[in-house]
Structure 1
Amino acid sequence: MLTIQTLSKQYINGSWRDGGSRNKLVNVDPYSGEELASMKIGTIEDVDQAYNASFRSQKEWAHVNAYKKRTILENAVAYIEQHEEEITEIIIQELGATRLKAAFEIGLVKNMIKEAATFPLRMEGKILPSTEDHKENRLYRVPVGVVGVISPFNFPFFLSMKSVAPALGAGNGVVLKPHEETPVTGGTLIAKIFEEAGLPSGLLNVVVTDIKEIGDAFIEHPIPRIISFTGSTQIGRHIGQVAMKNFKKPLLELGGNSAFIIMADADINYAVNAATFSRFTHQGQICMSANRIVVHKDVYEEFIKKYKEKVSSLKVGDPKEADTIIGPVVNKRQASTLKSYIDKSIEEGASIILDGSITGNLVAPTIIGDVTPDMTVAQEELFGPVVCVMQFETEQEAVNIANDTRFGLSGAIHTSNLEKGVEMAKKIHTGMIHINDVTINDEPIVAFGGENQSGIGRLNGQWSLDEFTTMKWISLNFGQRTFPY
């Protein structure tokens, strides 16, 4: 049976064992504060062993028949389906996620693995003509080797798998370092799934550790060619710098400050529902969440009335209860940060439309009104069930507000004129934006990524295949070249 307790070990070179450190990581339920399990964390030596194991195994994996690789990835999906209820319970316990969020995340994971299962059959090359007589140029698509993956705490099962499965499907080895708040959901659970699916021993390794123990060793190690990181912009900046300094390619999926724009001709009832989902799914702890609701002045009062009523109806409490929508944020530090943002907004002249209480890690939904673009809550990623609402008069003003941020991940525009929405979307500097939809979108075959400080690179589908492989040129001279000397 899959449980947090049974999965609280390191997974290195096909072996479940303790980390080499004397220090322990204690896994805590964010809602109850109950200790779920503890484990000895990994050391620099553990990281080294993991990368070397993956390096050795990858050389064999690269030559495994493509159809066998596909079968192993398909086995992983089947294993998840067989153990879906156990995985759901793990997500609820470790993340403080609701049952609805767990189902949503598991669905994303299965679709991502299914797409990655096509990669072994898509390692196509090209034969190109040459400027030289009697010569042929061949381009081979080959794995990069070993990929280091660092994942976050908010959607750890999916955001780990988003890099792990495509990297494996493209023929690489992987070493995964999950966030210390979610070592099982974002790490060892994935190791167990692929172990049971038949992945060769040593190819995938999971090292549960923290920066205090290993510093930059995970990034600086000479073996990985790519470091794929999902998390905050501040940490992503550091990881990108260290990776580039060591001639590794960084893939960075970072923070967001998405604008949800509601035009005067929008379907207000639909926009209210979409804006609620866009902000409060998983307590707003999603990089694509709508931080700023930007509403045309002609429909502002109607929207606010209905939005407040809708948000007020969301049940806050125990995520184990099926009808709970708002569970706990990840820890007390995050709850305290949200409180400071709310207080700061009032100091800067904003008003509170809906005042949500904060009890421990439970932050009830808060709506902040009278927000201007220069306020802290309009500039920072809130990452919790707190949202700010702003007004605009002209289309260009809405575009300006949306672009007034250092981020550029997602967004949404609600209007009855779809093509007008598209033209507006083209003016907003963001990697993704959705017309008459939510800001939270991720599909397995569509390019995903941000602009500005929201990241570098694109994942999903062909873009993941391109990121986790490289093109190797081999030329053949069937004759003899004539030399000038």
Structure 2
Amino acid sequence: MLILQALNKQFINGEWRDGLASRKLPDLNPYNGEVITEFQMASLQDIDEAYQAAARAKKEWDEVNPYVKSRILGRAVDYIDAHEEEIIDIIIKELGGTRLKAFFEIGLVKDIIREAATFPVRMEGKILPSPVDGKENRLYRIPAGVVGVISPFNFPFYLSMKSVAPALGAGNGVVLKPHEHTPIMGGTLIGKIFEEAGLPKGLVNVIVTDISEIGDGFVEHPIPRILSFTGSSQVGSHIAQVAAKHFKKAILELGGNSALIVLEDADIEYAVNAAVFSRFTHQGQICMSANRVLVHQDVYDQFLDQYVKKVSSLKVGDPYDPDTVIGPLINDRQVKSLMSTIEEAIGEGATPILKGEVTGNVVAPIILTDVTTDMAIASKELFGPAVCIFKFASEEEAVQMANETPFGLSGAIHTRDLERGAQMAKRIETGMIHINDGTINDEPIVAFGGEKHSGLGRLNGQWSLEEFSTLKWISVQHKPRQFPY
């Protein structure tokens, strides 16, 4: 049985213990404000010990047979299966996620672990020819070393595991720092899962702390060669700069301002369903969410009428209620930031055709029309249950509007002409875009990542294997080479 009080420790070198910092970190339920548990924060010394442990354990992991590595990683899925109801309960308590969201997230986690479990037997090398007589060029794929992972609060179980499991599968040690609002789902639960799966002691370490305690210490530490960060573009930019200064590689999955485009020939009822799912899943706290819905003027009124009816029917409130679709935002700071952005847009001329009440951290759906591309809200990421509806007259205008943002993560286009949609998709400046689907998609073997301010690098499948490993050239001169002097 998973007991929350048993997961409120640092996990360093295979041991569960309190951090060495003087401050404590309360873990709060975002729906009712209750303290779930408390952590003694980690210090810079804890971070050093965690990285040192990962580096030592990585050498032990190097000696494990690849097929054994795969079996160990596979046992992580078995552990999740055996404790799924308890994990769902923690997602509801710590994140304010609904049961639907919990099932969705857990499914993604199991899929990415299964994919990562294939990595140990996919560390393939090559033998390449040479212009030098008698030379054999061997190219080995090897682990990068130690990977530092920093994960966010919105999908912490998955977005931590999305880097942790592939990094392990590629042969690395890992130190994970979850978001301070989701230290269990994004951190210590993952440590427990891999401990039970049978990883070498110290290969995975979990550090629970906040930036005011450690500054850039997690990023600047000399041991990690790769830093994988998921979060805001502002923080991601800072991490990338610090990483570059210390000659580390940064993998960044950052914010989004995705557009879902409805062309005049779209199946309107289907497009409405996709657009609602794309905006209001997990209260809109998803980087791929459709902040903007762009609708052709010929079907605008029909779409808007059905969209408002659908959104108005969504149940808002207690995430423990299985019928609830929209639960709480993670904290009051997020609520205040969202509502400030909404009020600013209304002041600039946007029309709130639906504006629900705010109760604690629960924000009922907000739909704004009459939004123009020069308004601040049009270029921002809305991390909450609010959406902007735009009208366009031509395909060219829709493409231009979709691209008028510093972000480029996801998107969707709805049309009955699939090739028209595919050709239009090529013109949208985004890392991912989906025809006749929602903007929220993530699959274990398909490249995931953004353009512009939405990130650097690609994860999932072979791309994760490449990101978390490196190549080493070893040449063998089988007969003496003639040197010029």
TM-score (norm 1): 1.00
Counterpart Cα distance in 2 of 1:225 and 1:72: 24
Letter in 1 for 2:401: I
Counterpart Cα distance in 1 of 2:6 and 2:104: 24
Letter in 2 for 1:12: I
**CA displacement at 1:231 relative to structure 2:** 0.1
Letter in 2 for 1:182: T
- Could you tell me which residue of structure 1 aligns to residue 376 of structure 2? 376
Letter in 1 for 2:291: N
Q: 1:156-182 deviations in whole A, cap 9, x for unaligned?
A: 000000000000000000000000000
**CA displacement at 1:482 relative to structure 2:** 0.8
- Could you tell me which residue of structure 2 aligns to residue 190 of structure 1? 190
- Could you tell me which residue of structure 1 aligns to residue 472 of structure 2? 472
Counterpart Cα distance in 2 of 1:484 and 1:339: 73
- Could you tell me which residue of structure 1 aligns to residue 318 of structure 2? 318
In structure 2, runs of 5+ residues without a counterpart are none
Letter in 2 for 1:68: V
**CA displacement at 1:356 relative to structure 2:** 1.3
- Could you tell me which residue of structure 2 aligns to residue 215 of structure 1? 215
- Could you tell me which residue of structure 2 aligns to residue 62 of structure 1? 62
- Could you tell me which residue of structure 2 aligns to residue 367 of structure 1? 367
Counterpart Cα distance in 1 of 2:306 and 2:6: 46
- Could you tell me which residue of structure 1 aligns to residue 259 of structure 2? 259
Counterpart Cα distance in 2 of 1:346 and 1:39: 41
Determine whether 1:463 maps to 2:452. Answer: no
**Mean alpha-carbon deviation: is it higher for 4-13 or for 414-423?**
4-13
**CA displacement at 1:4 relative to structure 2:** 2.4
- Could you tell me which residue of structure 2 aligns to residue 105 of structure 1? 105
Q: 1:33-67 deviations in whole A, cap 9, x for unaligned?
A: 11100010000000000000000000110121000
Kept in 2: contact 1:141–1:469 (CA 8 A):
yes
**Which residues in structure 2 correspond to 1:42-191 (within 5 Å)?**
42-191=42-191
Secondary structure of 2:426 counterpart = helix
Letter in 2 for 1:97: G
**Which residues in structure 2 correspond to 1:241-280 (within 5 Å)?**
241-280=241-280
Counterpart Cα distance in 1 of 2:358 and 2:206: 35
Kept in 2: contact 1:315–1:325 (CA 8 A):
yes
Q: 1:268-306 deviations in whole A, cap 9, x for unaligned?
A: 000110000000000000000000000000111111110
Counterpart Cα distance in 2 of 1:476 and 1:80: 46
Counterpart Cα distance in 1 of 2:284 and 2:393: 27
Q: 1:324-368 deviations in whole A, cap 9, x for unaligned?
A: 000000000111111111111111111011111111100000000
- Could you tell me which residue of structure 2 aligns to residue 8 of structure 1? 8
Counterpart Cα distance in 1 of 2:483 and 2:338: 71
| Runs of at least 4 residues off by over 3 Å | none
Secondary structure of 1:6 counterpart = helix
Letter in 2 for 1:9: K
In structure 1, runs of 5+ residues without a counterpart are none
Counterpart Cα distance in 1 of 2:398 and 2:358: 32
Letter in 2 for 1:286: I
Counterpart Cα distance in 1 of 2:134 and 2:268: 67
Counterpart Cα distance in 1 of 2:55 and 2:32: 41
Counterpart Cα distance in 2 of 1:86 and 1:386: 31
Letter in 2 for 1:79: Y
Letter in 2 for 1:136: E
Counterpart Cα distance in 1 of 2:364 and 2:4: 28
Letter in 1 for 2:454: S
Letter in 2 for 1:298: D
**CA displacement at 1:484 relative to structure 2:** 1.1
Secondary structure of 2:476 counterpart = strand
Determine whether 1:334 maps to 2:334. Answer: yes
Secondary structure of 2:5 counterpart = coil
Counterpart Cα distance in 2 of 1:166 and 1:289: 25
Letter in 1 for 2:358: I
Letter in 1 for 2:97: A
Counterpart Cα distance in 2 of 1:25 and 1:3: 18
**CA displacement at 1:470 relative to structure 2:** 0.4
Letter in 1 for 2:136: E
**Mean alpha-carbon deviation: is it higher for 54-63 or for 251-260?**
54-63
Q: 1:73-97 deviations in whole A, cap 9, x for unaligned?
A: 1100010000000000011100000
Determine whether 1:23 maps to 2:42. Answer: no
Secondary structure of 1:368 counterpart = strand
- Could you tell me which residue of structure 1 aligns to residue 298 of structure 2? 298
Letter in 2 for 1:70: S
Letter in 2 for 1:349: G
Counterpart Cα distance in 1 of 2:437 and 2:166: 27
Kept in 2: contact 1:139–1:474 (CA 8 A):
yes
**Mean alpha-carbon deviation: is it higher for 190-199 or for 373-382?**
373-382
- Could you tell me which residue of structure 1 aligns to residue 451 of structure 2? 451
Kept in 2: contact 1:3–1:90 (CA 8 A):
no
Secondary structure of 1:345 counterpart = helix
Counterpart Cα distance in 1 of 2:326 and 2:244: 39
Secondary structure of 1:377 counterpart = helix
Aligned residues: 485
Counterpart Cα distance in 2 of 1:111 and 1:432: 20
Secondary structure of 2:33 counterpart = coil
RMSD over aligned Cα atoms: 0.5
Q: 1:212-255 deviations in whole A, cap 9, x for unaligned?
A: 11100100000000000000000000000000100000000000
Letter in 2 for 1:217: G
- Could you tell me which residue of structure 2 aligns to residue 358 of structure 1? 358
Counterpart Cα distance in 2 of 1:442 and 1:304: 27
Kept in 2: contact 1:458–1:464 (CA 8 A):
yes
Aligned-pair identity in percent equals 68
Letter in 2 for 1:285: Q
Kept in 2: contact 1:154–1:285 (CA 8 A):
yes
**CA displacement at 1:372 relative to structure 2:** 0.7
Letter in 2 for 1:95: L
Kept in 2: contact 1:147–1:226 (CA 8 A):
yes
**CA displacement at 1:132 relative to structure 2:** 0.8
Counterpart Cα distance in 2 of 1:337 and 1:4: 30
Secondary structure of 1:113 counterpart = helix
Kept in 2: contact 1:228–1:250 (CA 8 A):
yes
Kept in 2: contact 1:58–1:173 (CA 8 A):
yes
Secondary structure of 2:79 counterpart = helix
Kept in 2: contact 1:258–1:411 (CA 8 A):
yes
TM-score (norm 2): 1.00
Kept in 2: contact 1:152–1:231 (CA 8 A):
yes
